[in-house]
Each structure stands twice: as C-alpha cells, then as structure tokens.
Amino acid sequence: MLRVVADRPNPYRRMPARSRTSAAADPSSARGKLQMRFRMRITDGGTIAVGPGKIALLEAVEHNGSITAAAKSLDMSYRRAWLLLDELNRSLRQPAVESAKGGPRGGGCELTEMGRELVTLYRRIEQQATDACRDDIRKLMSMLAR
C-alpha cells in the first residue's frame, strides 16, 4: 500500500554520511520507505521568509518552551535557532515568538497568537495540497523502480 504524507522532517538535523561502498554493494539497504513530501517555502529575494525548517522550529519552541531546548531537540545551535526566529519575526507583520529574559525560571520563549496561526495555516496548506494531488502523486510514484 502506498502512503502519501506531508511529514515533518527536520531539515536542520545533520544526517550521518553514507558509505558509498555499502550502498553500491546492496542498493536495497540504502532504501527506506517510499514517501512523497511537499517542501513549501515563501521567499523574499534570497531569504526564506517561511519554510519547513522555521515551522519545525516554531513547533519545537511551542513544545519545549525555550529557544535553547528547541534548538537542542533539532540538533541545531542556539545561535542558528535565534537567527532563524529573528529572521522569521522580521519577515512577518507581527512577531511569531516572544522571549523573556532571566527571571526565576531563567526566561523562556513562547509562540504568539500569530506564531500559532502561522503553524496551523502552514500545516493545513501542506495537507490540502497532498489531498488535492493524491491521485497524481500515486501515479507518479507508481512509475518509480521499486
């Protein structure tokens, strides 16, 4: 059975280097489950204003409550996460995240209403695109040598 999903891979997670010799010796070992993914991005010149990595980072902030914990969960440096969130906030009319410095619990970060709405809308668009293209995706994937 073919399963079409709009999954949420971590675009910032470092993947281990694959050995060319082992994949060449047994091509089936390098293959995983066949999947199709939409990778929607909204760009402004050379800047990705909204994309899968920033959405994954927003979801990690929502889940973890801090930029530090969100970055760790995505195998990303704090600096990289902070820069991405700052770039995202500057790309939007209203900020997607708000940070609190210091305090008894050491500060934190949370999504604003705009941030939650952005994640919801992005995921809904992904799902609707997948649903709308389901028949063509199945046909395309049936053409693959598997």
* Model confidence at 7: pLDDT above 70: no
Residue 38: band (very low, low, confident or very high) from pLDDT cuts 50, 70, 90 = confident
pLDDT at 102: 67
Residue 15 lies in a domain: no
Domain contains 114: yes
Residue 24 identity (one-letter amino acid):
A
> How far is residue 50's CA from residue 74's CA, in Å, rounded to a whole number?
17
CB 74 within 8 A of CB 64: no
Q: Which of 78, 79, 76 is nearest to 53 (CA)?
A: 76
CATH number, domain of 131, equals 1.10.10.10
Helices (H) and strands (E) in the chain, counts: 6, 4
Encode pLDDT of 44-78 as tens digits: 999 999 999 999 999 999 999 999 999 999 999 99
Residue 22's pLDDT band, with cuts at 50, 70 and 90, is very low
Q: Say if 94 falls within a structural domain.
A: yes
* Residue 136: inside a domain: yes
What is the bridge-based pairing of β-strands 42-44 and 47-50?
Answer: antiparallel
Q: Which domain holds residue 129?
A: 38-142
> What was the pLDDT predicted at 106?
67
Q: What is the pLDDT of residues 87-137, one digit of tens each?
A: 999 999 999 999 877 666 667 899 999 999 999 999 999 999 999 999 999
85 occurs within a structural domain: yes
Domain count, the chain: 1
pTM above 0.85, yes or no: no
**Residue 23 above 80 pLDDT?**
no
Determine the pLDDT at residue 10: 53
| pLDDT band at residue 145 under the 50/70/90 scheme | confident
